[in-house]
Structure 1
């Protein structure tokens, strides 16, 4: 009996142990199931997460590409603007250089004109001073002429004084007398002067020596110049070795210089440089 009870107890313990094992086994199964379920959930989550990460990377790549495209377009626009500005400034620079060159040329022309005006002004100043000096010389000459004893025998015409002699002398003696009076035999420089002196001579019978004679067969004035305009009475005028010219009311004539005695005209020029 005791054995039976013992056996029953053993069986009960066994059963209880079996129940406990079953319970433990069931707990382990449930725990395993939970573990598997949790593992499956985690696995599913991990499977879904790469898909989301891949989509995010794709969006970022698109944004990066868009930014790169915008940056490239901006660079192209900047490069285009720089090229346009370079062309514009190059053109402006060429125009500015051309304008500067034109201004430089104009400045040179203005400076040249200024120098010309300045030189002309200096020349006018010098001429003005010369005229002033000549006026002073004329005044002195007039004063000296007024002091002469034979003042009333002199005739004034165009900055010169003419002395018409009342006595007759040979040509050489006539010139010597003129030189003693501070003058010389008259040299006729123009048609107007010739006409003036012709009026002084009364008629054709009044022959008057002038400062013209032949030198080696050529008619020359006493200052050595060859005559350019002659006012001869006759077209064919002789040029003997020792001939001198005389004036009449109708033109020039010629005589032997030291053979005949005639009246003479002396000329004393004032402001010679001004009228020649």
Structure 2
């Protein structure tokens, strides 16, 4: 076909199409597009789909992460609230313990104050006792001086100079009688024998005043001239009216508290009495 024949063919085709209807140029172009153009569109479409899938997965992952984080933070929040509650309870308990310790401290301080007052009272009592002790020591010292004075002055009342005993400074004078107070200890019979060797005999207490005198000068048990057979009698035969008949011992001693019974073979001190008629 020559170039002059090509337009005629085209016109003929156009005429033919006009007889059949208008030709869709777009469809005509698509039909006549090269095959490689269609393949490029398909690749792009697949890439877009892959990108959409990736974005969907990423969104799903992000949503999952958000949900997990929400659950995690919710759990942590509950834990924190529980921990805060426990801390508040511990705080209340510590406050209660602190209050208890404060009360206990106040009680200890009060007890300490009481002990301090008690200590002051004890110190005061000790001071008073020391003063009383000093007073008693002074009184004892005065009594000792009086006793020594009596011993020094007793011989002024002795009526017979030739009857002075050799151990005159061991005798004391009271109510016109002289008394020897032993420093040894013997039985009742040995004590009386010692008095007889001194030209005396065991003491006979004739009055309440004399009894009181002996109770002041003795500091332990001393034999006196009082024994019991059926009744209690003094060596001069005077019966002791208030003596007990049921005592198991038959000899008597004098002490700070008065008369006491003692076994005659026991060892005690003794008091010898010397009067003018010896």
Q: What TM-score do the two structures reach when normalised by structure 1?
A: 0.42
Q: Which has the higher contact order (CA 8 A, sep 6+)?
A: 1
What's the TM-score once normalised by structure 2's chain length?
0.42
